[in-house]
Structures are given as C-alpha cells and as structure tokens.
Amino acid sequence: MHKVVRNFGHIARKNAGLRGRVISIFTWLFGVPNLAKRSQMQDIFDVVAPETDDIIVDFGPGSGYITIEFSRYAKSVIAIDVREINIDLPLVIAQKIEFRCYDGKIENIPLEDGCCDKIFSGEVLQAIENRIELYHVWQKSLKDDGRVIICQGVGRPIIERAFQNKHWLIKLLARCGGPATFDEYSSLLNTEFRAKDKNFIPQEKIIEELVSSGFEIESIIPTPSDAVVTILEWTQYILKTLLGRARYINHPIVFMLVYPCCIFAKAFSNKRDLDYGILISAKMRDR
C-alpha cells in the first residue's frame, strides 16, 4: 500500500523567484496545502493502486500535484488538461510525466486507443458539458482490463442539514450578508468552481451515466471520513461567507490551522455516511 508522504505533491522549484522558493520550502516541509485532496489521497492511492508497469492518465490534473504522486510508483503518467501546465520538474520525475494540453473539445482529447491502464479524474466532471461522450473516449483509450477512477465532490451535506435545522451560525452569517438558503450557497460555490451547473452533480447521476456508457461499477466509497468532512465543510462555508472565496481553504495559513484537526478527526472516527465526495472505480462491461 502506498502511503501519502509528508511532502505530498512537492516539486523542488529550480530558478524560482522569492515567492516560488518560499512555496517550495513550505511544500517540502508540509506538502501541497490542499485540505480536501490531502484528506482524500490515501483513499485515492488505495483505489488507484499504482503499479510499476501502469500507464496512468490524470485527466484534469490542475497544478499536477496528484500526477507527481502517481509518478512515484507508476511506469508513466499522462496528464491532460485544457490549461497549459508549466512546472519545472526534476529530470527523474520529468522522464515519467507527459503533460498534454487540448482545447476542451471532446473529439480533440489527445489520447491514443488502448494507451493506458488507468484513468484518474479528480474534480473535473462538473466542468464537462457532455460526460457520456467523454466516457466513450476514456473507454477507447483504456486497455481491455483498464479502469477509470473518479474522485468527485457530490454535495455539502453538513451545511445543507445546518440550513434545514436553522443552525445559529447559519442564521448569524445570513444576517451579515451570507447566503439565505442552501441552494444559494451551493450556487455560489459552483460558480466559483466554474461548474456547468449551479448544483453539485448527484452521485446517482454520475453512476447512471457511467453505467449507461458501458462501465461496470467496481466500488464506490465516500471520501474523506464524516468527521473530516464536517471540518472541511464548516471551514469552507465560513471562508466563503466571510471572505467571499471558498478557495481560501487551501491557503497555507488555513491549512496549518485546520489540517492537524483533520488528522485528529480521522484518527478519532473513520465512519463514512456523508455524500460529500465519492471515489468510484469502474471497469468496462463488454470487453
């Protein structure tokens, strides 16, 4: 089993300016400050289970920090995004990773038929107009025994329940200009995430679309654990409502304050009932 390392997603930045060097020292010491993904990464490793002869596609890698983690164990990783990824990789990592950029049109996805063993996609589905077409491209590019692994946020159940129960903090922040309803909050979040829809894609819809495109679901696990979800959801809600940006959840200061609580919460309970994020593993049905 691959363990999440202390300096998760760290890349030594050569020739970086002062800011780059400070970031580099921070990530070397503490890893990339992405609270949700850091809390989900052990689950991701367990399900993706990268092996030495695996060619893995990281579809929508963002800044590439998960790509780097996969490259530690896989034979090679192809990272495909609509944004140019420009990172100065050390040679030993650069030899294993290929970054490919395309224009976002499904027919132009730069993947050859039967080229990979696993496709990982983290928080990308909300940006895709026609997911069924995408799944067909994925199927063509997977080897016969290949798998797709999707990690996707599907809701904010703790905050939704807090709105329903008229939690005092929700009422207080609504008085200070915060969202009046959960739908409003969900819409604010998804607008910031540049999602095609103002609501999260429900888990059932993701499964239904995968199955109707010819995938067979191997496993679905909620991720991270409920205790961690509770911390992440409230932190994000407070940041979004008071400071206007949910993404501040990944600010290094927030990370330093909140991540220790997540580690403690995870040790305390690993119960998983909440539909915050799911990790799906699926293989092709008819091959």
Judged by CB under 6 A, the chain residues 79 through 108 that form the site for ligand SAM are 80-83, 104
Q: Are 221 and 273 in contact (CB under 8 A)?
A: no
Between 84 and 286, name the residue whose CB sits nearer to ligand SAM. 84
Between 279 and 282, name the residue whose CB sits nearer to ligand SAM. 279
Residue with tokens 């367990």: 46
The Cα–Cα gap between 1 and 24 comes to 27
- Residue from 268, 282, 286 nearest 228 by CA: 268
Number of residues that bind ligand SAM (CB under 6 A): 16
The Cα–Cα gap between 144 and 285 comes to 10
What minimum distance in Å lies between the beta carbon of 141 and ligand SAM? 13
Q: Applying CB under 6 A, which of residues 122, 179, 222, 224 lies at the interface with ligand SAM? A: 122
Judged by CB under 6 A, the chain residues 126 through 185 that form the site for ligand SAM are 127-128
What minimum distance in Å lies between the beta carbon of 87 and ligand SAM? 13
What minimum distance in Å lies between the beta carbon of 77 and ligand SAM? 12
Q: Are 148 and 121 in contact (CB under 8 A)?
A: yes
Q: Are 17 and 200 in contact (CB under 8 A)?
A: no
Say how many residues make up the chain.
287
The Cα–Cα gap between 6 and 26 comes to 11
Binding mask 24-63 for ligand SAM (x = CB under 6 A): -------------x---------------------xxxx-
Binding region for ligand SAM (CB under 6 A): 37, 59-62, 66, 80-83, 104, 122-124, 127-128
